[in-house]
Structure 1
Amino acid sequence: MKVRPLTIEGAYEVTPAQFSDSRGTFLEWYRFDALEAAVGHPLDLAQANLSTSARDVVRGVHFADVPPGQAKYVTCVSGAVLDVVVDIRVGSPTFGAWEAVLLDDEDRRAVYLAEGLGHGFCALTDGATVAYLCSSTYRPGHEHGIDPLDPELGITWPAKVPNLSTKDAEAPSLAEAKATGLLPEYEACVTFTASKGRSND
């Protein structure tokens, strides 16, 4: 298993080793020790989510209040998605930046994102099935979204007509979310992860 940091601090791409023969394929899609060695802290597992999406569905950009935030370990178990991490931490050197990773059922990559980062994806196939491991449970009133089509973010979604939920379509822009104090502060995120013993985040 290879864990590679992305350009946004606190985000990583994970590529597992796969073992295939005439019967099929085996892989370890999550290893707590390999992830901990890379990010400096184990992922506290509190909830596991699964979503299935039609082609061109865009989910996100979602994030949670920090603390406790919600770190995520995301993979696509069937089909393919373009997974996007967005730095929405006010004061971060890469605030407003985003990075995309192809997740599919061939390379079986995963993405880890720390608390305070925004997350979304676009389904590239019908029936794209995404599994998430989360560090905290869903908390109504503490989970938020940013308009995934916000021109200021400029995310290049690979869909001619992105299919959004009503909630995501009505989410505020990055600037609106910042102006209303909705976004997490970079220093608060750094302090929170440091309190958990994370060594290089």
Structure 2
Amino acid sequence: MRLILFVLAAFLITFSSYAAAHRGPGDAKARPAEINRDAPPFRLTAQDGRRVALSDFRGNIVLLSFIYTTCIDLCPFVTADMMSVFRRDRKAGRRNLRLLFIATDPEVDKPRVLLSYAERYGADLSVSTFLTGTEAELRPVWGSYGVKVSKKARGLVEHTMVTVLIDSDGKIRRRYLGGRIELDQVLKDIAMVRAEA
């Protein structure tokens, strides 16, 4: 009986620390915040090895988030949610939305790993880009977008959950903080940004 209780307690401690490991502040639903400032620039390495800059996407609306490929908590949901936003936007006849995903675990998330992750989610790589780099390259990018990242035991990565909507002029228009994005809200925000362009 003591062994069962010990195993159960160990599981609960592990699960609760894991569940908290890479959630940002707040609950599992992202809260939008309105912003209107230039998106911090960056140049990173894409899933196919190309060097890619944020400025390469000027003229398009960009939905940008931070993930790591071995995450089994919120990152898969955020990835799937962003793919859903793209599909719904494309179904409505829109053509200028781009998805960017920036790795928070550069030690693991090399370009080929990101390519495999993209394929697992059925990402259209003509409009979706998965980015990585060295930790020295990534840490300033994380910081400039308000993402805190720290590596924990057992391969876990604690990071702030942030998704950012960037308009075609390269300005941040919304930050969705704390978890999964609300698809309808994001689509409304994208429509608003388009209408103001």
Pair in the same fold by TM > 0.5? no
* Bigger Cα Rg: 2
TM-score (norm 2): 0.25
Higher share in strand: 1
Larger helix proportion of the pair? 2
